[in-house]
Amino acid sequence: MSRLVPLPVVVPLLGAALTLLLAAWPRAQRAVSVTCLAATLAVAVALLVQTYRQGPIVAEVGGWPAPVGIVLVADQLAALMLVVSAAVTLCVLLYSIGQRQWETGTTATPVAIFHPTYLVLTAGVTNAFLAGDLFNLFVGFEILLAASFVLITLGGTETRIRTGSTYVVVNVLSSMTFLTAVGLVYAATGTVNMAQLASRLDALPDGVRLSLQLMLLVAFGVKAAVFPLSAWLPDSYPTAPAPVTAVFAGLLTKVGVYAIIRTETLLFPDGRVAGLLMVVAGLTMLIGILGAVAQSDMKRLFSFTLVSHIGYMIFGVALSTVAGLSGSIFYVVHHITIQTTLFLVAGLVEVRAGSTDLRRIGGLSRVAPLIGVLFFVSAMNLAGIPPFSGFLGKLGLFQAGVAVGGVLPAVLVAAGALTSLLTLYVASRVWNVAFWRAPRLDTREPTVRLPALMVGATVALVVLGLTLTVVAGPIFDVTADAAADLLDRTPYVRAVYPEGTP
Amino acid sequence: MSGPSLVLVVFVGVLVACGVTLLLERSLTRILLGIILLGNGVNLLILLGGRSGAPPVVGAAPTAEMSDVLPQAMVLTAIVITFGLTAFLLAVSYRSWYLTGDDEVPDDIEDRQVVRLAERNEAPTTDLGGEGSGGDPEQVDPGLARRRDRGAEGPG
């Protein structure tokens, strides 16, 4: 079974090489990318089933044993994230293929490099999820960042270069912080293997450990767009092409959240920064959503809701109970799906109405009822209206918060409820302005026929979001199990070192 | 088996300090130089984390006197990554200079909109259809300005 573990990284990378060679044959390129991502999804599902039944699976890369060599570890959390990310990237890929077909002849963006870069991005994301040592996690981050730099400046237009440069500089800086932290962790403990660090970090003096923890938190906080470090996100995401924004919004910030979950549970389980994390989580929720209230462009608005809802996940991590972590993981799964869907819907609106600016469009529910339905379902899901998965995720987190007790968790639960209401307000404002008033389009063409593949991919993601609601019970079983394993730490460590930590 | 030399530690500090100072600049070229300095500082720092000693070649010295190879392996990877990112940033700043004649990183669009509204003492409204921005050289998206002007003058 351990032979399967490297595949989610290797398959997209091979696919990237192949699509680069096939640059002159777009049809073959598309076929290769879709096949690769479908294969990744299949492997991810197999890994999830296997980890749920038997616990974490470890692969030693190149056959080198653990402390010296690199290990890839698939535990339940990693496998679950792999499944969701593979499903979402596949849907977005299909959407982008649909959009390319629609755009053919109208724009001159270089299509040839999109597929290889997109596959490299996927490989980076999966590598970050599977990484068993800090340095490999850093490499995973760099792979996905390098690919995202290319995607965000795709076409090299003036707007994209200007917003892209902010994105590049901020992310390079956060990578430098991460790399410094990795270097210092190695200097302090003599290893970067996470399973080995779990015991070695415990032995360090408190001050050293706290400073290492804070450095890693700052680095991941930038990537996850946690409040004081989130200002770069709403400014750089909206200008990229719709599928790129969608996959960035869905996945890249969640890789940061995943890294926070992993380090806070496995490496620094004593919860010394729990108070800090809670304050930051509350501020992220409120300030993010207040930003969204003030926006008048759909894409920018969704970027702010993205920042805001990261707060929920950080809240669950800060609680550091099984219920809290479980709610947090469920929320990550839910939010990846929903946020991606919303950006894809915004892309559809742009195709149909010519703009996503709320000042220029209106009455879309009459002009394009299907887009209306797609938007309504996902927006209500995001806002947490029962019975959707957004409601279940928030409920799980609130219950965990109340169960912990104390002033700070209570304040956080209140802030979460307020954020949820404000999200509902934002969603209904978009609905009222863009979908419900007198029809008003920002395009000259009377009717634009929406490409079937774009609509199909969006429908598939909406259905995936609804499926999360239906199978929420089993998913909560998996997340609770994953959370228990994370807090226990021994399943992970024992999987890497069956004969005890060296 | 000795600790890191003080010269190297101070050198790392100087590199990082210069890098951070340059990062605070507006021009992409200076930011790029800052990132190069910062990256080199961090790479040296990783190297400091390991034990120094004889070359890690089997037979050249007793194992206990060899230097630690792991930081060297990590630093090689990190150097390659820094190199790639530097090349990309260089391309971005060249492209920026090519398109606009300078390589300064501007304030974000929303910030500037807020500042403009504040100067005119207006409240932002959702239905602000014809916000004239044609005479504004700072407007980033010319398409947006054009669309806005069209909105201000009515259709056609």
Q: Per-residue pLDDT tens for B37-72?
A: 999 999 999 988 888 778 888 887 887 788 888 888
Could you give the CA distance from residue A35 to residue A90 in angstroms, rounded to a whole number? Answer: 9
The alpha carbon of residue B121 is apart from the nearest alpha carbon of chain A, in Å, by 17
Q: Which of residues 115-144 of B touch A (CB under 8 A)?
A: 124, 126-129, 140-142
* B154 or A463, higher pLDDT: A463
Please give the single-letter amino acid code of residue A50. Q
Both tokens of A170, joined, read 């901020």
Q: Residue A57's beta-bridge partner residues?
A: A74
- Is the pLDDT score of B126 beyond 60? no
Cβ–Cβ < 8 Å for A261, A314: no
What's residue A384's pLDDT?
Answer: 86
CA A92, CA A151: separation in Å to the nearest integer? 14
Among the partner-chain residues B42, B105, B126, the one whose CB lies closest to the CB of A358 is B126
**pLDDT in the model for residue A215:** 93
- Residue type (1 letter), A501: T
Residue B84 C-alpha, separation from nearest chain A C-alpha, in angstroms: 8
pLDDT at position A315: 93
Q: Determine contact: B105 vs chain A, CB below 8 A.
A: yes
Give the tokens for residue B26.
Answer: 């507006």
Cα–Cα distance between B71 and B48 in angstroms, integer? 8
Tell me which chain B residues have a C-beta less than 8 angstroms from the C-beta of A355.
147
DSSP code at position B63 = G
Percent of chain B with pLDDT over 70: 76
CA geometry: angle B150, B151, B156, nearest 5 deg: 50
Cα B88 to Cα A48: distance, rounded to the nearest angstrom: 37
CA distance B40 to chain A (A): 10
The answer to whether the Cβ–Cβ distance between B129 and A359 falls below 8 Å is: yes
- Whether B130 has a pLDDT exceeding 80, the answer reads no
Position B153 scores a pLDDT of 41
Q: Is B77 on the interface with A (CB under 8 A)?
A: yes
Structure tokens at A356: 């996503």
Q: Which residues of chain A have pLDDT under 50?
A: 105-106, 108
Q: What is the pLDDT of residue A139?
A: 93
Any chain A CB within 8 A of the CB of B12?
A: no
Q: What is the pTM of this model?
A: 0.89
CA distance A241 to A82: 24
**Residue B59 tokens, joined:** 């037979």
The pLDDT, as a whole number, for residue A462 is: 92
- DSSP-derived secondary structure for A325-372: HHHHHHHHHHHHHHHHHHHHHHHHHHHHHS--BTTT-B-HHHH-HHHH
Query: Minimal Cα–Cα distance from B114 to chain A, Å?
Result: 11
Whether the CB-CB separation of A111 and A96 falls below 8 Å is answered with no
Helices of type H across A249-321: 253-262, 274-294, 298-319
Give the residue from chain B lying closest to A68, CA to CA: B70
Cα–Cα distance for residue pair A269/A299, rounded to 1 Å: 37
pLDDT band at B27 (very low <50, low <70, confident <90, very high): confident
Give the pLDDT confidence of A440-458 residue by residue, as tens digits: 777 766 666 778 888 889 9
Calpha distance A187→B71 (Å, rounded): 9
Q: How far apart are CA A359 and CA A263, in angstroms?
A: 43
Q: Cβ(A59)–Cβ(A69) under 8 Å?
A: no
Write out pLDDT tens, residues A223-266: 999 988 888 888 888 888 888 999 998 899 999 999 999 999 98
Query: Token pair for residue A40?
Result: 């990744």
- The residue among A201, A218, A304 whose CA lies nearest residue A259 is A218
A88-112 burial code (b ≥16 CB/10 A, e <16): bbbbbbbbbbbbbebbeeeeeeebb
Pick the residue of B30, B104, B108, B139 with the most A CBs within 10 A to test the interface with A by mutation.
B108
C-alpha to C-alpha distance for B58 and B44, rounded to whole angstroms: 25
Helix (H) or strand (E) holding A413: helix A407-430
Instruction: Give whole-number Cα distances, A188 to A174, A185, A213, A326, B63, in Å.
Output: 21, 5, 12, 32, 21
Cis status of the peptide bond prior to A387, with omega within 30 of 0: yes
Identify the pLDDT of residue B129: 40
Q: How confident is the model at residue B140 (pLDDT cuts 50, 70, 90)?
A: very low
In whole angstroms, how large is the CA radius of gyration of chain B? Answer: 25
CB A289 within 8 A of CB A305: yes
DSSP A436: I
Contact A359 B127 (CB under 8 A): yes
Predicted pLDDT at B95: 87
Residue burial A62-80, b: 16+ Cβ < 10 Å; e: rest: eeeebbeebbbbbbbbbbb
In tens, the pLDDT along B72-115 reads 888 999 999 999 999 998 988 888 888 888 777 777 777 777 77
Burial of A3 (0-12, 13-18, 19+ CB in 10 A): exposed
| Residue B133: band (very low, low, confident or very high) from pLDDT cuts 50, 70, 90 | very low
* Residue of B16, B45, B117 best to disrupt the A interface, most CBs of A under 10 A: B45
Determine whether the interchain pair A183/B35 forms a contact, defined as Cβ–Cβ distance below 8 Å: no
Position B134 pLDDT exceeds 80: no
